[in-house]
Structure 1
Amino acid sequence: MEKALMNLDIRTILFLGAVLLSLQIIPLVLLFVLTNQYKGINHWLVGHTLVSLGYFLLVFRGAISDFFSIIIANILITAGYSFSLQGISCFTEQKFPRYWILALNSIFWGIHFHFTYIIHSLSLRIINISWISFIISVFSASQLLNNRDKRLLISSRFTAIIFLLHSSLTLARIIITVNHELPNSLFALNLDGFQVFYFMACFINSFLITTGFITMVCQRLYQDLNTLAECDFLTNTLNRRAIEHQMDREIAYCQRENRKIALILLDIDRFKSINDNYGHDSGDLVLQHFTQTLNFIIRQEDLLGRWGGEEFLIVSRVDSVEDAVVLAERLRSAIQNEKVIVHHTIITYTVSLGVAVYGVHGQTKQELIIAADRALYHAKNSGRNQVAIAQHYH
């Protein structure tokens, strides 16, 4: 094993690293094809491809002109890092510092050209590419740490840590390069020196960063699919399966803490006539307006779900039946005073509500649902646009 390591040279290490980088393009391509609804994946793919091409050009230094193996190679690498940063900004829906990054790249290109053709210095070129790599890595970590999407907390923090580790390595590279004289040839570097360790660490970090980014995309995809499975697409409320599942959790909470929850079943009065008179598109707008009004009134911890058709269910933690009735009356009054304007036509509507409270009108989910449904039926039969309270269970 030791003999095999001794047979390695800088060119071989760079070639193996470039191959590792290029292999990471495959899952990124698949990710882009399968989940191209997310912004930023294309930028990340382009960035990673540019970095891979840049390292392949480094491998051929000496076999091709310095313009391609030094200037173009390093331009591709820094441009690739910049595209990856833009991918993070787009994916996390944050502002990308486009002009700052473009200015940094322009300065880098000029300096690199100077230290290649005017003053030939490997050390100064290393310092030049290291400072821009440091800045972009810190920017990338900052974007990930500032990401407010709690669904991506673990994966974004993991990726940010790897970026910070990379920035630390580049900073150490600058310090060591300043304090140690290096040969003027990349392939004359000492195999047991820090510069070679830096390249190997970069390739490992690149793999971990790509893993982190793919994990972020998978996390968002999972959360979005989970939301689609639980959400009513028209009204953006919980669907019936999801609201029933939440009811089970709330009832378990009541049993543990000896608390109460209220079920408020709501039904839009004469909704069929709205569809008949104004069309189903207008009916859909009324449903959306209805749920937006409800969401404006209920508390953040209250649950709202579509029970079916024009029926909706609210699950709310209360201290008494009176509290539930007060909430229901607020909802009824708000809807009565609202109006929907569709194609210059004003549509007004009302709602009937049935209220049932855990421990008062039922001890199980099914008992509460039946009690609230019967109360709603009573409200509808008593003239609509009113609140009815369920009868005590026996």
Structure 2
Amino acid sequence: MRLDISTMSVMVSAASILQSITLIFFFFLTRKYQGIGIYTIGTLLSALGFLLFPIRPLLSNPLIALNLRFLGNLLITYAQILYTVGIIKFLNKKPPSFFFIALASVCLVIQVYFVYIKNDFIIRNMGIIFTSIISYCWAIYFLIKFREKSLYASSVFICISFIFNIIFLLFRAIMLPLTNTKALLESNSVNITTIWSIFLFDYLRNTGFIMMITQRLYHDVNQLATLDFLTNTFNRRAMQQYLEHEIARFNRSQIPFSLIMLDVDYFKLINDTYGHDRGDLVLKHLTTILKENLRSQDLLSRWGGEEFLILLPQTNLQEAFLLANRLRTTVEENPANEGLIYYTISLGVGTFTQEYNGALTPLLIAIDQALYQAKQNGRNQVIKASNC
């Protein structure tokens, strides 16, 4: 059975409405994410715009039909702008508001003139086409320039859907004057291809945006499960998983890895003297220093309280000792709270070797004892684990 343009337009509208339901659900579920509401409004405007096209021929009043033509064109065009603005805001970036307001204004003028003053179907469509292309190009630009690692797959997916949509819009812009098409409801190959492409690429773009939302949700939940809320380092549970992976790699390759256990000297005294807020500030300050001086492959975790554990992959004992000493010196030379709170750290260092028979607990006990020895020896020093 061959579908006519009116039926296909209703299909596009129905598909947009159904996808809007999912987007509305996500909007209420994830209030802290920007852009979802704007994008959803765009989807609803598009659905309404396409629904108005098959209604027009059923009306006997020509003025009402003319108004619906104007309204439908405007809704569809503004929907494309809102898609882009929604995506940009979801990326936590500021859209070029003045540009989009100017673009929307130009489109409004084109639709008013070529609907009410000079009836020209092709120019009206060119206005919609190039407004959409410009909006899509902005979306692609932001998705590429400000891409987030956690949103990589969905960003690529949306970019591809936009690119193919632009190609089909350019095809329509070329074919409209060549085929002398006079109305959207005219059943010819250009209109049929256009409606099918809108149906397909609207679905793909909306699916990509929903994927983007779910990817960010997963990323945020994973962050909550693996990161310490105060220092934004790995928590103990996450570090234990990384340690298990490192032991498995050691069993395969026999490449050693090292651990550094450290804590803040006289941390209770800092809390008692300056208050717990300043104590938290010291831990954040320490975390910043450690991250800035560790290598990209090293992993830092808050092991408990003021105690931190650092995993050094493919690192022998001497290399770990030198790194630990450098960390100790850097902390000593950089007081916290704009130089007002002086503090030091003590560190225990050990390396995982075959002597541990694949068990991590003995190494953790050894470096904890080394840390304790550093405290006993006067603090602000590095001690190697005795059996490493």
Q: TM-score, normalised by structure 2?
A: 0.93
* Counterpart check, 1:353 vs 2:344: no
* Counterpart check, 1:296 vs 2:292: yes
Match of 2:321 in 1: 325
Q: Where does 1:199-210 land on structure 2 (aligned, <5 Å)?
A: 199-210=195-206
SS, match of residue 341 in structure 1:
helix
Match of 1:108 in 2: 107
- Take 2:290 and 2:226, find their aligned partners in 1: how far apart are those partners? 19
* Counterpart check, 1:243 vs 2:235: no
Q: CA deviation at 1:335?
A: 1.7
- Take 1:168 and 1:318, find their aligned partners in 2: how far apart are those partners? 49
Q: CA deviation at 1:361?
A: 7.0
- Take 1:40 and 1:380, find their aligned partners in 2: how far apart are those partners? 52
Q: CA deviation at 1:114?
A: 2.2
Match of 1:231 in 2: 227
Match of 1:20 in 2: 15
- Take 1:167 and 1:356, find their aligned partners in 2: how far apart are those partners? 58
Q: CA deviation at 1:140?
A: 2.2
Match of 1:159 in 2: 158
- Take 2:255 and 2:225, find their aligned partners in 1: how far apart are those partners? 29
Q: CA deviation at 1:275?
A: 1.5
Match of 1:169 in 2: 168
SS, match of residue 337 in structure 2:
strand
Question: For residues 86-144 of structure 1, what are the alpha-carbon distances to aligned partners after superposition, in whole Å with 9 as ceiling and x for unaligned?
Answer: 11111223442333332222222222222222322223322222222222223323332
Q: Where does 1:63-212 land on structure 2 (aligned, <5 Å)?
A: 63=59, 65-183=64-182, 185-187=183-185, 189-190=186-187, 192-212=188-208
SS, match of residue 262 in structure 1:
strand
CA contact under 8 A between 1:142 and 1:160: conserved in structure 2? no
- Take 1:45 and 1:287, find their aligned partners in 2: how far apart are those partners? 42
User: Which residue, out of 186, 193, 214, partners 1:218?
Assistant: 214
Greater shift in the superposed pair: 148-157 or 317-326: 317-326
- Take 1:322 and 1:20, find their aligned partners in 2: how far apart are those partners? 64
Task: Write the letter of the residue equivalent to 2:229.
Answer: F
Task: Write the letter of the residue equivalent to 1:246.
Answer: Y
How many percent of aligned residue pairs carry the same amino acid? 38
CA contact under 8 A between 1:361 and 1:367: conserved in structure 2? no
Match of 1:257 in 2: 253
* Counterpart check, 1:384 vs 2:382: no
Q: CA deviation at 1:233?
A: 0.3
- Take 1:266 and 1:327, find their aligned partners in 2: how far apart are those partners? 12
CA contact under 8 A between 1:374 and 1:390: conserved in structure 2? yes
Q: TM-score, normalised by structure 1?
A: 0.91
SS, match of residue 116 in structure 2:
helix
- Take 1:308 and 1:88, find their aligned partners in 2: how far apart are those partners? 39
Q: Where does 1:39-78 land on structure 2 (aligned, <5 Å)?
A: 39-62=34-57, 63=59, 65-78=64-77
- Take 1:49 and 1:319, find their aligned partners in 2: how far apart are those partners? 57
Greater shift in the superposed pair: 157-166 or 123-132: 123-132
Greater shift in the superposed pair: 233-242 or 315-324: 315-324
Q: CA deviation at 1:169?
A: 0.9
Q: Residues 239 and 98 from structure 1, CA distance in 2 versus in 1: closer, same or farther, beyond 3 angstroms?
A: same
- Take 2:336 and 2:141, find their aligned partners in 1: how far apart are those partners? 44
Q: CA deviation at 1:308?
A: 0.6
- Take 1:379 and 1:292, find their aligned partners in 2: how far apart are those partners? 23
Q: Residues 16 and 360 from structure 1, CA distance in 2 versus in 1: closer, same or farther, beyond 3 angstroms?
A: closer
Structure 1 residue runs of 5 or longer lacking an equivalent are none
Q: CA deviation at 1:77?
A: 1.3
- Take 1:197 and 1:148, find their aligned partners in 2: how far apart are those partners? 32
- Take 1:336 and 1:134, find their aligned partners in 2: how far apart are those partners? 57
Q: CA deviation at 1:210?
A: 0.7
Structure 2 residue runs of 5 or longer lacking an equivalent are none
Greater shift in the superposed pair: 174-183 or 229-238: 174-183
- Take 1:376 and 1:29, find their aligned partners in 2: how far apart are those partners? 54
CA contact under 8 A between 2:184 and 2:191: conserved in structure 1? no
Q: Residues 361 and 373 from structure 1, CA distance in 2 versus in 1: closer, same or farther, beyond 3 angstroms?
A: farther
Q: CA deviation at 1:318?
A: 5.0
CA contact under 8 A between 2:282 and 2:337: conserved in structure 1? no
- Take 2:142 and 2:282, find their aligned partners in 1: how far apart are those partners? 40
Q: CA deviation at 1:391?
A: 1.1
Task: Write the letter of the residue equivalent to 1:134.
Answer: I
- Take 2:311 and 2:227, find their aligned partners in 1: how far apart are those partners? 16
Q: CA RMSD in A?
A: 2.0
